[in-house]
Amino acid sequence: MQKEQFLSVWKKYLNGEASEGELRDMLAFMRTGGADEWLEEQGATAMEIPEVSLVSSDWERIWADINRQTLEEQKAPVRRFRGVVRWAAAAAFVGILATGALVWMNSGKEDQSMAIQTVSDLPPGKEGAVLTLADGSTVVLDSIGNGVVGSQQGVEAVLRDGQLAYQGSAKSNEVIYNKVSTPRGRQFRLTLPDGSRVWLNAASSLRYPVAFTGTKREVEVEGEAYFEIMKDVARPFLVRGGGKNIRVLGTSFNVNVYGDEPVYRTTLLSGSIRVEAEGKAVVLLPGQQAVTEKGALTVQAGSDAAVAWKDNVFNFHHQKLPSVMRQIARWYDVEIVYEGEIPDVEFWGKIGRDMNLSQIMTFLEKSDVHCRLEKGNKLVIGTGK
């Protein structure tokens, strides 16, 4: 299939105008990997399309037929997406463009050949956290209503509509700290005493003073957090975590310092920040990302994908399977177990974080990543069904 012909059918598909024959030819060609580079060229604009609908034909049946034909012709396992596989298998890329959900889930049809072996299902994560007060006592913030949840030296911690904020003035210059922690399967938002706002991703924590009384504002983060900092030239804002020191005046940025990630990333969306790590310092401009890996600090281009989680979206663009599975593990509170070789698959696209785990497993299956949920919330990634 020539590039012009492929892109013509591709655009028809996005507009819901492709015939079953055109769709079959397009998917068969995609199955060979011949369209990888063309799809990557289209990715930036295609991801911005506000809505994508399936054509009237049964997409799943067509895709299953193509897989069966390939099996007969090559007599090889279905899972053969090696190397780059820029679109994580045609099924995944076509299914998740810009909708924030798996569009094929809306068809109401089930392909029994792709049935998932599950012990049970798990719901998605939700808002919630644990607040640790200065005296060591804890408050589970997702199980109480609005109101004052703690009072310390004249400063009250107040919960309103699922968000934590502080009010009042400190009666002492003694610095006392609170800590908000999100377990796996939870995320949370809070407003710091200076009015700065913080979003915490799952399995993360933020330690901070209940009142900023000195010449600087300093907090400590573990896991992942998105910050929108109130500008105060006289009192710079400092974030510590993952061996990094981040100096801020007024800006918005994301910090990812999960202990199980191979690299730590700080992504700047607006303003300017100085990142210190590994004995080196860099100043980021909007759209840049500081990366700490193997004892080195480097700067590279960032993207909005770094903060997709804040908007309740998984953005798996250009991510390998282990990275995807770590995010799934935190959000659904599951243990990931690999049986045999880890599938060498790279994903494209977005998926909403508001789906049950079974729907995520369907997405993985359609990307030729076989999985099953076992007792004890153990998600097993295997080489077959």
Please write the tens of the pLDDT for every residue from 230-285.
999 889 999 999 999 999 978 999 999 999 999 999 999 999 999 999 889 999 99
Integer-rounded Cα Rg, in Å, for the chain is: 23
Q: Please, which pLDDT band fits residue 366 given cuts at 50, 70 and 90?
A: confident
DSSP 8-state code for residue 231: P
pTM of the full structure: 0.71
Q: What is the pLDDT of residue 40?
A: 59
Residue 205: how many other CB atoms lie within 10 Å:
19
The mean pLDDT value for 38-55 works out to: 45
DSSP secondary structure string for all residues of 101-142: S-GGGGG----GGG--EES---PPPEE--EEE-TTS-EEETT
The answer to whether 292 and 243 are in contact (CB under 8 A) is: yes
258 inside domain: yes
Q: What is the pLDDT of residue 11?
A: 78
- Considering the chain, what percentage of its residues have pLDDT values greater than 90? 50
Flag the least confident range among 11-15, 213-217, 285-289, 376-380.
11-15
332 inside domain: no
Of these ranges, 15-24, 80-89, 374-383, the one predicted with the greatest mean pLDDT is 374-383
Q: In the structure encoding, which two tokens stand for residue 352, read together?
A: 């909403």
209 inside domain: yes
2 inside domain: no
Structural domain of 219: 126-307
Read off the CATH number of the domain in which 133 is found: 2.60.120.1440
77 inside domain: no
Number of structural domains found in the chain: 1
Q: What is the pLDDT of residue 273?
A: 95
80 inside domain: no
369 inside domain: no
**What is the dihedral sign for C-alpha 216, 282, 263, 305?**
positive
The answer to whether 163 and 190 are in contact (CB under 8 A) is: yes
More confident residue, 126 or 94: 126
141 inside domain: yes
Q: What is the pLDDT of residue 262?
A: 93
